[in-house]
Chains A and B, each alone.
Chain A
């Protein structure tokens, strides 16, 4: 914004963006960013994909299969998947059920409340493309019309094994994305 900013005269928002810019420049100039990324990337990536925390949010029928997958028989906790109630503590938004026009802004808000890195998994036909409710006036025809979906799990409802398979594919995707702690490509 200013060429010669006077740090004392700034308000807090401007100070934050100026100081972040300065630190960024220093790190980039001294190649420290690249070094940290290269060193930490394997460890960061390993921890991201082995501790995926989905949001404990059930929309409709597929939520029952999500609950069954967390039970003793198909234990998802052994993969590191623990359902958390607050979106601020989650990595994955699991869309399990048909999305109505009334819940669409709430879902968007939940997605924006989740801190990066985050992924969206569409579980079941309804969140992939509207499902059996193709002609309903109140159903959004697919979660990918307003959210960036990473994994699609087909089924109506998908079995718990299919849900776990979807999570394993997401692990492969996270490994391939290879984003370090600074989250830059």
Chain B
């Protein structure tokens, strides 16, 4: 049978983000998959050498717009490591609350896209409704729904508003009930189960070798979570479970993210019990010392890392970004070979792609 190259992209309803997946097909089966990137490349790392350190904070939000708090926090963490600044404890707790709420928002965004891919549009509407409640919470603290510009070098921009704890608890109580409904919609759907079980299997050795991190790695039965193993901020103070799953397939990646959302709710509640009073920002110098620094976080999508080199001025000499999804895209061929073309949205959707950080 003749083989044919098919372009899935750049405009395609199921490729979340702007990229092109060229697949070599023999009938309906995929023989080879080749991603084509660069449609969103803006030369972020080069442009940031033209900006001062505080000016980069809102622009680091736009690296991965699905979980922007996580990336601006990572940037601030790197610069605090470079300039050796100690962040006040209240600011650290506020950061953790914001980060875990952002994790829930990011996973809900993923669920919206994944549900649409599976044809389960009801899930999409339920999830968007719940996500709006969390975006209201974020708006009451930061003023924005998406790219928050909230962390600062040395702390956060402002303190939490007065009734925030009450509102947050209300949303979390409501949400934890709704999460059961959403899970029932997926787990109870035979079509969803058939489309996700035993699909896109990545064995643990392959997962580590191919550079998978975050929920995709934990879904392949590898117990690694940077919040517990390489702790940053005040994550050592919290008691939570690292969710893994041993099926290594698309269903496992879905399950890990659902469990992680529950753990995030737990962490936010613990943070509100332990949060101390105090200032929320420390003073940061204008110029950076002539050294390099590296910091990494457990982004909702995987291991995010930034490497900065200061040169004595108020602009970075080099700012390098490690994007977790960039490495997953390179594993596309391994995951898709041998499957049918109709499985592409399921498998690539379960990886949770956000193209802003891939192309930078």
Contact = CB atoms under 8 A, between A and B. Distances in A.
B66 interface: yes
A137 B47 CA distance: 9
A1 to B, nearest CB: 38
A71 B47 contact: no
A133 B42 contact: yes
Contacts of B59: 132
A135 B59 CA distance: 13
B65 A61 contact: yes
Given A61-B147, A100-B40, A102-B38, A135 B50 contact: yes
Contacts of A157: 145-147
Contact of A85 (B13, B38, B50, B58): B13
Contact of B43 (A67, A106, A138): A138
Interface stretch (B125-133, B205-213, B241-249, B277-285): B125-133
A118 interface: no
B334 interface: no
B76 interface: no
Interface residues of A, number: 33
Contact of B66 (A64, A138, A139): A64
Given A60-B65, A132-B59, A136-B43, A106 B10 contact: yes
Interface of B: 10-13, 16-18, 38-44, 46-47, 50, 58-59, 62, 65-66, 109, 112, 125, 128-129, 131-132, 135, 145-147, 355-356, 359
B51 to A, nearest CB: 9
A1 B353 CA distance: 55
A98 B39 CA distance: 10
Contacts of A71: 125, 128-129, 131-132
Nearest to B128: A71
Nearest to B10: A106
Nearest to A160: B145
A65 B131 CA distance: 12
Given A65-B146, A71-B132, A135-B50, A100 B10 contact: no
11 contacts: A57-B11, A60-B65, A60-B355, A61-B356, A64-B66, A97-B40, A100-B38, A103-B18, A103-B39, A133-B42, A136-B46
Contacts of B62: 60-61, 132
B354 to A, nearest CB: 10
A56 interface: yes
A136 B356 contact: no
A102 B47 CA distance: 18
B145 A58 contact: no
Given A60-B18, A71-B125, A133-B47, 7 more contacts: A55-B11, A56-B13, A60-B62, A60-B355, A71-B128, A72-B128, A85-B13
Contacts of A67: 112, 128
Contact of B145 (A56, A59, A102, A159): A159
Contacts of A72: 125, 128-129, 132
Contacts of A39: none
B132 A138 contact: no
A156 interface: yes
B128 A100 contact: no
B11 A60 contact: no
A57 B58 CA distance: 25
Nearest to B38: A102
B42 A98 contact: yes
Contacts of A133: 42, 47
A60 B146 contact: no
A107 to B, nearest CB: 9
B49 to A, nearest CB: 10
